[in-house]
Structure 1
């Protein structure tokens, strides 16, 4: 087992804080700050909604549209973070999310609510002294959704 040096512990703490900012920025709809958490060449992949990874810029635009009229709560749990070099790392995070849209504005997904569980699979890179997400893939193990009831 690899010895945990002070530098390793500091890097893992920084990556944990980076992911905490990711969740907060999504829930607060702070798209400007969210964009700063990624490397310039970062990709994101949501297999439920995409057939291939897209740039972080495109993915953030998708998230912003999907959350229009919604309130989201994202939780990240039990991170498995491994440094692969002094400037790269990988991580897997257990996750749970809940999203509730107002009835009149059901966002880009056309739902009233969504509740899901799964994992974020990520790669990180140290850029100019700060850890950034370079790849993000969200896999869901389970999700339940409800479409708005039709009004007459």
Structure 2
């Protein structure tokens, strides 16, 4: 049987806030190597291996910057999609006077053709594409296999 994944409000918020620590650590490491190699090169100008190492690390930094720009653009698109789901959950929470922690959505990015799980009830989202303009239709799932995706703490 195929199950449905429902994502919590906190999980969606966390997806936006995730930072790419590996990239920052790698960039810091490359910067440290550049500083050390330039220091050693200026200390002993006869030894060109440190100058070459610094040049290689500077090229590595430029490569890392290029990768970061590309990642930033794709992460920005993803963040906008997550924000639409977050804003939708906030709107449903406000209109139904329900705590956001009780609302789960089965789509991380879009509310189109998505389902909501509010406590033990399930709803189909019918949207006409306008922001904040939607209809919730209560549905019954037969023997639902539901997985709640929460923030890992």
Question: What TM bracket, shorter-length normalisation?
Answer: 0.3 to 0.5
Give 1 or 2 for the bigger CA radius of gyration. 2
Name the structure, 1 or 2, with higher relative contact order (CA <8 Å, separation 6+).
2
With normalisation by structure 2, the TM-score equals 0.32
Structure with the bigger percentage of strand: 1
Structure with the bigger percentage of helix: 2
With normalisation by structure 1, the TM-score equals 0.32
